[in-house]
Structure 1
Amino acid sequence: MASVVISDRVEAKDFVEGVDYVQVSGIPEAKSPIVREFFSYNCSHCYRQDPIFEETVELLGDTIDFERTPIGAGRPSWILSQEAYYLAQKFNMTNQVHGNLFKRIHEKEGPFTRPEQLKDFFVKQGADASAVEKAMNSVDAKLAISNYDTQAQLAGIRGVPSLLVNGKYLIGSKSRTPEELAELVKYLSALEGADKS
């Protein structure tokens, strides 16, 4: 077990590989340090964990980039949710619609089952109907969804939500507070730096 210095603290408590995290072949990340959440709007665990992850991101502040990758798992309604994330990114509406997508699926109408429902959702959020339809049928949408699937496969994602730090440290699914999660993410980011030296 390595002891790693983290920010202004003298040392962080040690985390155990195989218990708190595992090293995976992973994915190449353009930025570092970065934490990537693999999730689905259809996943009830993701829905419940989302406030914890949001608070963790706030605690980390500008020190670590945060990205999301939606998972399709070959299920039609989950693939529509991947498309929802793509559209949110495409129209710069992610902050506006992220929580609304979870609420729509888990508190109101259930999962998307048809593309028309997805289009209607974004139109109600203020997007132009023809622009949404064009984006949904674009090559870019297909490429984005293929890229999401490739990232999940390379990261060895077996369930959601999952967090991957710097493209190679997969955090275990143990229940943690936002503070504990932020500490673990910082630890793994520092460990990545120590591995390179």
Structure 2
Amino acid sequence: MPKHLTLQKRLTLAAALIALPFFGFAGDFVEGKHYIQISDQAPSKTPKVTEFFSFFCHNCFNMEVQYLPAIKAGLKSDISFDTKHVDFMNSDIGTEVMRALAVIHASERQTEMARAMFNAIQGADGAQGHHDHSAEGHSAKSHEPQIQSRDDIKAVFAGFGIDGAQYDKLADSKEADAKLALWRQQQQEFAVQSVPSFVVNDKYMVNLQEIRTLEELSGLMNYLATEKDKVEEKGGSLGWAALGLLALAAMGRRRLA
């Protein structure tokens, strides 16, 4: 085989290999379909996924119990996962429940405490989005929300070793106030209109209606968190890479001449 053909093939292969990282993910996930950009600001400094949810939401309870463990397991190790409570209710009890999540964030047993709050508000079968009113021993009162006031919330947290005074201190702290202010601000800024919603790097929102599998969801989150903006930053560098390949090809032709 002539040497110049061998060189040409090598250059073609090199160009293809350079292009692969930029088109592999982008070809799988389409902006406007699988996700939308919700902010013109720079992405968060570190990769993260944030779930906006509500303890009053059946679908959020279902997500918590059925899917979140697998979703988190599918995320890259350098991606953090955070939860923020929406303020759709705009009521005193709604605010108290938001403060409960701020207290949970200060605990080492976050998953257990979050599920306890879901159970207290929705009942054990709330994750299925319904109550079995025909079940033996069922009564209307048995499924009334246990959370009507801060005292009710304290009763839930007492089961985790947090007494009333400790709870008040955490719930009324400056840190909790800052969290609630941020959650409300971002709910408006990101136009969170339904829950659960997933926001990646404070910049992209996942369109769950277009996601078919948990693997696809985790893959999309990984892409948005660690690749999307890097691809765009490097997009312009493809031109320089092409120039470099052309220069290499010219050098090869001079050597063969």
Shorter-chain TM range is: 0.7 to 0.9
Cα distance change of structure 1 residues 71 and 31 upon mapping to structure 2, 3 Å threshold: same
2:231 aligned partner: 194
Tell me the CA shift for residue 15 of structure 1.
1.6
Supply the distance in 2 between the matched residues of 1:70 and 1:91 (Cα, whole angstroms): 16
Letter in 2 for 1:65: S
Bigger helix fraction: 2
1:150 aligned partner: 185
Contact 2:43 2:203 in 1 (8 A): no
Letter in 2 for 1:83: R
Tell me the CA shift for residue 193 of structure 1.
1.6
Unpaired runs of 5+ in structure 2?
1-18, 125-143, 235-257
What SS class does the counterpart of residue 49 from structure 2 fall into? strand
Aligned counterparts, 1:99-178, within 5 A: 99-108=115-124, 110=145, 112-174=147-209, 176-178=212-214
Cα distance change of structure 1 residues 14 and 34 upon mapping to structure 2, 3 Å threshold: same
Letter in 2 for 1:106: Q
Match of 2:30 among 16, 24, 31: 16
Cα distance change of structure 1 residues 58 and 70 upon mapping to structure 2, 3 Å threshold: same
Supply the distance in 1 between the matched residues of 2:160 and 2:40 (Cα, whole angstroms): 35
| Aligned residues with identical type, % of pairs | 25
Supply the distance in 2 between the matched residues of 1:154 and 1:92 (Cα, whole angstroms): 30
Tell me the CA shift for residue 27 of structure 1.
6.9
Contact 1:45 1:161 in 2 (8 A): yes
| 1:66 matched to 2:81 | yes
Contact 1:59 1:179 in 2 (8 A): yes
1:184 aligned partner: 220
What SS class does the counterpart of residue 74 from structure 2 fall into? helix
1:44 aligned partner: 58
Letter in 1 for 2:202: G
2:103 aligned partner: 87
Residues 166-196 of structure 1, C-alpha deviation per residue, up to 9 Å, x if partnerless?
Answer: 1111001315422111111122231122123
Tell me the CA shift for residue 61 of structure 1.
4.5
Cα distance change of structure 1 residues 111 and 149 upon mapping to structure 2, 3 Å threshold: farther
Unpaired runs of 5+ in structure 1?
none
Letter in 2 for 1:177: T
Residues 112-145 of structure 1, C-alpha deviation per residue, up to 9 Å, x if partnerless?
Answer: 2211111111112211221112323334333321
Letter in 1 for 2:200: V
Letter in 1 for 2:206: I
Q: Which range moved further: 136-145 or 123-132? A: 136-145
Report the aligned-residue RMSD: 2.5
Contact 1:26 1:156 in 2 (8 A): no
Cα distance change of structure 1 residues 33 and 135 upon mapping to structure 2, 3 Å threshold: closer
Contact 1:38 1:163 in 2 (8 A): yes
Letter in 2 for 1:165: V
Contact 2:100 2:171 in 1 (8 A): no
What SS class does the counterpart of residue 193 from structure 2 fall into? coil
What SS class does the counterpart of residue 70 from structure 2 fall into? helix
Tell me the CA shift for residue 4 of structure 1.
7.3
What TM-score, normalized by structure 1, do the two folds share? 0.84
| 1:5 matched to 2:18 | no
Supply the distance in 1 between the matched residues of 2:151 and 2:41 (Cα, whole angstroms): 33
Contact 1:26 1:167 in 2 (8 A): no
What SS class does the counterpart of residue 164 from structure 1 fall into? strand
